[in-house]
Structure 1
Amino acid sequence: MIEVEYLSKHYGSIAALDGMNFTVRPGIVTGFLGPNGAGKSTSMRVILGLDKADSGRATVNGKDYRDLAAPLHEIGALLEAKSVEGSRTARNQLRGIAATHGIGDARVDEVLHMVGLTDVAHHRLRTFSLGMSQRLGIAIALLGDPAVVMLDEPANGLDPDGIKWIRELLRGLADEGRTVFVSSHLMSEMALTADHLIVVGAGRVLADVSMSEFVSGASAGSVLVRSPQAQKLRGIIGADGVTVTSTSATELEVSGRSAASIGEIAASAGLVLHELATRSPSLEQAFMELTNSTVAYHGDSGTAHHAASTAAASTSKDPS
């Protein structure tokens, strides 16, 4: 179990953590979500004793990390996959770390196989791709067979097969009763993997709920309607609290009415429906809705197009 109790951490005038408070429990996959600068990495570094909080406490299985007698057996972590000595081989990197805890070569070979690196175990780490380095980092995290596993962006650099593999690995670790804490910006993967979410922004916890509660608590979904008589239907389903948008001549997107209600209205009016599909809020939509006000860096999606258009206009006016 990981317990974070009212952590505060400032870098100058910037509050990286502002009373961060949460518990990560065993037996489930807990997703750690937040925009850039929200405090995710700082929280993980404090948990591992790499950064010192100004106030508050973070413990692993009831102890500060520095007080753990054999840390690799308590918590396995991946924060920076590329922070290794490039001249070493994958196997020797693991053997060196294993030796600090009296872990034998058999376990080294076991985790190499587990992460799919057996065939490149004797390759120099400088030759590893980002995806291979991620797999090695996960092998290091699992080396001591820890009860707690904490991974920061573990799918970074992995191909589709690798992403599927890490998803199944995390689920398997949780099913074994371990505490699994994973940070990721891949919302589609979090939606498939996490049971519980801790969502942070501006150094504070914004939500600490189950995945289902988080998504269902977002703004209501919509209903996609396809009909050759879409515009006639649009005229009779409108009401207070109902929003109807035409996405094409034959398609409508309706918010504020259920699919059943729309179907009954269409049937009463003798209108043909080709499709009637409920669109539930996605994890991404729920996340954006909650964290939008805490995002530190907003880009202008129209900037590149505007710049290109301006350049094209200038070129067309250039007599040369």
Structure 2
Amino acid sequence: MKKILILLLSLALILSLVACGGNDNDIDNPPDETQDQGELPDEDLNGEDDEDDEEDDDGSIGSSGYNPGDHESYVTFSDAYYEFTGNITDNASKSDEVLYGQVLVLSPEMHVFDYLLPLMLFGETLEDMEIQVQDEVLKLFIGEGKTLVSAEAERISDNKYVMTTARKDGKEFIGEVEYFPNIDATRLITTEDGEMAMLFEYTKNKDGYAAQYYFNQPMGGSYGQEPIKKWCVYRYMFSGLEGSCARFDDVGEPATIIGDVPGEEEFIDGATHWVTITNDEFTGELDGVSF
């Protein structure tokens, strides 16, 4: 069972022991039309067998560095992602531009927590054990004092599932997760009230990862009024503690990176804001200032 689920079940057990009928815990906004999602890669990305990614006879992991049998793809990606972005934050004091401007390219997940909920709870696939205990997991987010009134996850196939959540404010989110085991890649598309709300993808890339988020980002506005929003793409490409992160403002839906990852320079070319860290030193452009 995935580490995230274990943590949640532990929390559920603690809560049930502390209070028998106790108290109960939140969730952003939609868009207009977007371009059609680009062509998906060939069907063999979803296949069960691939020589490069198979576990070798001696039990070692194939060249992708990931063993599909581990069912830990999203957890492994998240650990690597937070280690990389944490290194940027740890070294930000070396550059005033990064110290004050890192928020422009980091932590998009803070804006889209509700859209990412399927991955955060169940990861890249919905396993038998998770189906059996999903009621226990989901009730942590449902009920009095909480945002959700209902939530349900349904497995479509071994590598695909859908999670539907309804909020007290009447909004409905549907998150569709698809996993490509032979290249260790995952796509999540979330709709809000039937409209595209977020696209998130990550994929193993050589000895690191590439990832991108696409959603309607709050960009400012006047106090007491609806925030001004624009569709933005956040992109990350990293290996260990080194790599690049970028944000593209007011853009259309990006081409998929699953099965077709460009080079790092091309990946961030044309970004509104970007940062590259190498040997704990920065280059980039944030808020119009190059360094």
Q: Same fold (TM over 0.5)?
A: no
Q: Higher helix fraction: Structure 1 or Structure 2?
A: 1
TM-score of the pair, normalised by structure 2: 0.31
TM-score of the pair, normalised by structure 1: 0.29
- Computing the radius of gyration from Cα coordinates, the structure with the larger value is 1
